């Protein structure tokens, strides 16, 4: 019997997807990285964030668009990201999984 | 009463002149600090066109600022004289609502945001970042994000620490991008060996 292949968010995917969702239309690589850094209390390199964003885009959970070049960025364009409908589904799926596993009960049970 | 009015007039005129002079000097500084495109080999044609347009606008605004300076000084002013126009020394004070406040010396706050200052980001790291093993769009995004954040880090922690941070981020980006290629490389090798 073939195993059902349902894609789930793994590793950094969930925080990155959630950050992109929270930031909305202002979500670019830099702001997503800052949001994830602040949430995880550690510094993550832009290379790691863009790797995850690429993976999310391959899964169809986000879309990207390039902005205009600016002098401050020495002519490098900003890359904007937007969460798609299936990305929102993935976030909800992750939340349901956590709830099903009793994740929210851990804090209450802790001494 | 007459004496007080004339004194107030003189103060106001001096404040206006100082403001015009500061505005001219700000634009002059922006032009002088504008990026030298020959030092940015990665600059695209679109970026070069944009820079040229911005520089043209800065020159036009500086010409308008010079006219304004002439009008407020009450006599013709050349480009060489503009920075040497005597303005009464000391901070200029204006009175509003009975409370003294220091006059804004260099134009509006939002006007100052477009002032270009050259980045002190390490050139060696910037050179290495051009070879990041990822797509062109991602590379542009990563370099731009790092340059923007470099300004924030150098403002908060000093240029030395910011330069170290920039170098570390360059190394970490390379490491994570190369690591992300390992599974693909392994599967390619496995296919190649099993063929």
B53 in reach of chain A (CB within 8 A)? no
Q: What is the pLDDT of residue A100?
A: 81
For residues A80 and B23, give the distance between their C-alpha atoms in angstroms, rounded to a whole number.
Answer: 35
pLDDT(B168) > 80? yes
Q: B66 to chain A nearest CA, in Å?
A: 25
Tell me what the mean pLDDT of segment B164-188 comes to.
Answer: 90
> Does the predicted interface ipTM exceed a cut of 0.95?
no
Q: A1 to chain B nearest CA, in Å?
A: 25
pLDDT digits (tens, 9 = 90+) for B88-145: 544 444 333 434 444 444 444 444 444 555 567 888 898 999 999 999 999 999 999 9
Averaged pLDDT score across all residues of chain B: 75
pLDDT digits (tens, 9 = 90+) for A1-56: 444 455 666 778 999 999 999 998 889 999 999 999 998 888 899 999 999 999 99
Token couple for B84: 């040497």
Please name every residue paired with A41 in a beta bridge, in sequence order, or none if there are none.
Answer: none
First-residue to last-residue Cα distance in chain B: 102
A46 in reach of chain B (CB within 8 A)? yes
Q: What is the pLDDT of residue B171?
A: 94
User: Which of B21-35, B56-70, B87-101, B170-184 holds the top average pLDDT?
Assistant: B170-184
Tell me what the mean pLDDT of segment B164-191 comes to.
Answer: 90
Is B43 in Cβ contact with A47 (below 8 Å)? no
For residues B90 and B178, give the distance between their C-alpha atoms in angstroms, rounded to a whole number.
Answer: 58
Is A78 in Cβ contact with B134 (below 8 Å)? no
Three-state secondary-structure class, residue A47: helix
B152 in reach of chain A (CB within 8 A)? no
Cβ-nearest to B148 among A45, A73, A79: A73
- Number of Cβ pairs < 8 A linking chain A and chain B: 99
Token couple for B26: 């700000």
Q: Greater confidence, B171 or A107?
A: B171
pLDDT digits (tens, 9 = 90+) for A74-110: 888 999 999 999 999 999 988 888 888 876 665 555 4
Instruction: Return the minimum-mean-pLDDT range out of A58-62, B43-47, B88-92, B178-182.
Output: B88-92
Q: What is the pLDDT of residue B144?
A: 92
CA dihedral A51, A57, A59, A61 (to 10 degrees): 120
Is B146 in Cβ contact with A79 (below 8 Å)? no
CB contact residues (below 8 A), chain A span 47-86, against chain B: 47-48, 50-51, 54, 64, 66, 68-79
Residues 6 or more apart whose CB falls under 8 angstroms from that of A19 comprise A27, A31, A32, A35, A36, A39
A102 in reach of chain B (CB within 8 A)? no
What SS3 string covers chain B?
A: CHHHHHHHHHHHHHHHHHHHHHHHHHHHHHHHCCCCHHHCCCCCHHHHHHHHHHHHHHHHHHHHHHHHHHHHHCCCCCHHHHCCCCCCCCCCEEEECCEEEECCCCCCHHHHCCCCCCCCCCHHHHHHHCCCCCCHHHHHHHHHHHHHHHHHHHHHHCHHHHHHHHHHHHHHHHHHHHHHCHHHHHHHHHHHHHC
């Amino acid at each position: 019997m073939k195993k059902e292949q349902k894609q789930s968010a793994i590793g950094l995917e969930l925080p990155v997807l959630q950050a992109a969702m929270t930031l909305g239309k202002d979500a670019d690589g830099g702001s997503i990285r800052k949001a994830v850094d602040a949430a995880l209390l550690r510094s993550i390199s832009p290379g790691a964030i863009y790797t995850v964003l690429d993976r999310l885009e391959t899964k169809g959970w986000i879309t990207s668009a390039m902005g205009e070049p600016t002098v401050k960025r020495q002519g490098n364009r900003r890359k904007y990201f937007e969460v798609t409908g299936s990305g929102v589904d993935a976030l909800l799926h992750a939340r349901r999984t956590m709830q099903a596993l009793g994740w929210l009960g851990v804090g209450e049970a802790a001494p | 009463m007459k004496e007080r009015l004339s004194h107030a007039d003189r103060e106001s005129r001096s404040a206006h002149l100082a403001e015009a002079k500061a505005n001219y000097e700000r634009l002059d500084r922006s032009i002088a600090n504008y990026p030298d495109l020959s030092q940015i080999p990665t600059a695209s044609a679109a970026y070069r066109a944009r820079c040229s347009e911005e520089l043209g606008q800065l020159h036009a605004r500086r010409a308008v600022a010079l006219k304004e300076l002439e009008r407020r000084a009450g006599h013709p002013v050349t480009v060489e004289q503009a920075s040497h126009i005597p303005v009464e020394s000391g901070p200029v004070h204006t009175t509003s609502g009975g409370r003294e406040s220091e006059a804004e010396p260099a134009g509006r706050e939002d006007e100052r945001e477009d002032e270009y200052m050259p980045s002190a980001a390490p050139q060696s790291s910037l050179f290495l970042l051009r070879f990041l093993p990822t797509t062109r769009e991602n590379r542009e995004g990563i370099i731009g994000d790092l340059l923007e954040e470099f300004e924030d880090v150098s403002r908060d922690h000093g240029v030395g620490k910011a330069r170290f941070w920039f170098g570390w981020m360059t190394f970490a980006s390379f490491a994570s991008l190369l690591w992300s290629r390992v599974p693909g490389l392994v599967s390619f090798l496995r296919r190649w060996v099993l063929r």
